[in-house]
Chain A
Amino acid sequence: MGALLKSEWRKLIYARAHWGLLIGAILVAGLGTAVSPVILDNPDSGFGLGLEQTQSVDAVYANAISGYFFAIIIGIMLMSGEFRHGTAVATFLTAPKRGTVLATKLAIAAIGGMLVMVIATAAGLTAGWIALSFFPDAASPTNEVFINTLLAAVVSGAILGIVGVALGTLVRNQMLAITGALIYLFVIDPILLALAPDAGKYLPVGLITAMLALDIDAPEFGIDTSAYLPPLTATLVLLGYGAVFATLAIATSLRRDIE
């Protein structure tokens, strides 16, 4: 297992594309957080919040987690890349016990997703702090927002990495898997969250938002965080997603031929 972990770790750090994803996550988290004070400070934004309110400043910092989708892409690339480049052949010739290979890959994807999220979120928090320094009337954030955001980054990064590997196992076409994941996260999930909040709060985006423990009520944007699950419950449900997808990945990879 240790040898396989070393091999999978090398796959993660040798591929330039993975470093590109880290840079992308840092840029998205940094820019997303840095522009938030400008939007919230604009009285025409319609949020009904001003930077003089603590919940508004907390919402700025919570944007630091907005690069979460890069964690799922890393997981997808780690797995479907094996089929795209044909490296699955070498991988399973070296370690023919597929369950062990998948378990190792899930572990490395969890670590990779977590590292990307923690680094990007830290960059986002720093960018938010710099941006808010240009608004002297901005309220101070709560201490909890930093802890909750970093915790959400760790948990969501690890789980989305695992979900990515599972998607890459189920949908071996890399572009299809990435496109499908992004369409789900940016279109389908938010729509479900807005149209059916009772069900939507159990979906990934709603769960990640719930983990931030924010207090925002902006009905014109369909956001009312009081309707979300408590942070601990959201974390457990997200972990459940990880377990289900990990089981699916192992079950499917054990059966199919490797081309």
Chain B
Amino acid sequence: MAAIAISGLVKTYGKQNAVDNLTANITKGRITGFLGPNGAGKSTTLRCLVGLSAPTSGTALIYDKPYRDLDNPLSKVGTVLDSRGFHSALTGKQNLRVVAAAAGIPDSRVDEVLEMVELKDAAGKRMKIYSLGMKQRLALAGAILGDPEILILDEPANGLDPAGIAWLRKFLRRLAEGGRTILVSSHQLAEMQNTVDDVIIINKGKLIASGSMKEVIGDGSLEDAFLALTGGEL
């Protein structure tokens, strides 16, 4: 069963198609890597999927519904789009309490997720002093606040140091073990090869490959397959 179904998605800015007739399915309970060179249309696709951008045409559905029609969406889908999204003058805890209140989630859950992302000690500090890694962890905490079945993560490893990437790998594996559906975009190809079950590769807004990791890379590496499919752009 497809947890996420993208069908004929087109998003146009002026005369340029950022996403060009993209069709792809994300299978429930699997980790899917969403790959493509810079400017390929990955973030635009994810923004259309969660209702922040309106598709020019086509559909992007979660459990057969547009995101905005989901009941209490935070309990179905957790999203990390970038490390922004939080008020720099508020503490990490205050930022999450704002989100929790809107979703009807008790404040005790805020303390739980802060502990899960190992930010408990920094919870009372203002976001303006957070490092990029800490902001990414807070964004992940926000994504799991509603204990969702689906996670949509756009470049969650961006700006993380090796220790942060190792932490993220363990964190995602722990979430995946719970049977969650995870759609993750990243440039960390070696990391993705070891983490994801399925792969979707797009270039210039168009789908160029999709399937299980084995189907897409054969006996080679993800990086080799990616470079061959995208014409060497990374």
Contacts and interface: CB of A to CB of B under 8 A. Distances in A.
* Contact residues on B (Cβ < 8 Å of other chain), bracket: 20 to 34
A134 interface: no
Contact of A7 (B82, B85, B102): B102
Contacts of B67: 96
Contacts of A15: 87, 89-90
B183 to A, nearest CB: 15
Contact of B99 (A85, A94, A258): A94
A85 B88 contact: yes
Interface string A216-259: 00000000000000000000000000000000000000010111
Interface stretch (B51-59, B111-119, B206-214): B51-59
A86 B84 contact: yes
B181 to A, nearest CB: 17
B19 to A, nearest CB: 13
A131 interface: no
Contacts of B98: 7, 10-11, 14, 87, 90
Interface stretch (B28-36, B73-81, B223-231): B73-81
B53 A257 contact: yes
A90 B90 contact: no
Nearest to A93: B79
Instruction: Classify the secondary structure of A's interface with B.
Output: helix
A15 B95 CA distance: 10
A89 interface: yes
B89 A4 contact: no
Given A14-B90, A93-B73, A94-B74, A3 B84 contact: no
B94 A10 contact: yes
B99 A17 contact: no
A91 interface: yes
B201 interface: no
A53 to B, nearest CB: 47
Nearest to A97: B68
Contacts of B68: 96-97
B85 A86 contact: yes
Interface in B36-88: 47, 50-54, 67-68, 70, 73-74, 79, 81-82, 84-88
Contacts of A4: 102
A97 B71 CA distance: 11
A109 to B, nearest CB: 16
A85 B84 CA distance: 7
Contacts of B97: 10, 14
A17 B88 CA distance: 12
Contacts of A81: 87
Nearest to A16: B89
A95 interface: yes
B220 interface: no
A254 B103 CA distance: 20
Given A93-B79, A258-B53, 9 more contacts: A14-B87, A16-B89, A81-B87, A85-B87, A91-B102, A94-B103, A96-B67, A97-B68, A257-B54
Interface of B: 47, 50-54, 67-68, 70, 73-74, 79, 81-82, 84-90, 94-95, 97-99, 101-104, 142
Interface of A: 3-4, 6-7, 10-11, 14-17, 81, 85-87, 89-97, 255, 257-259
8 nearest A-B residue pairs (beta carbon): A86-B84, A7-B102, A96-B68, A7-B101, A6-B101, A257-B53, A258-B52, A94-B102
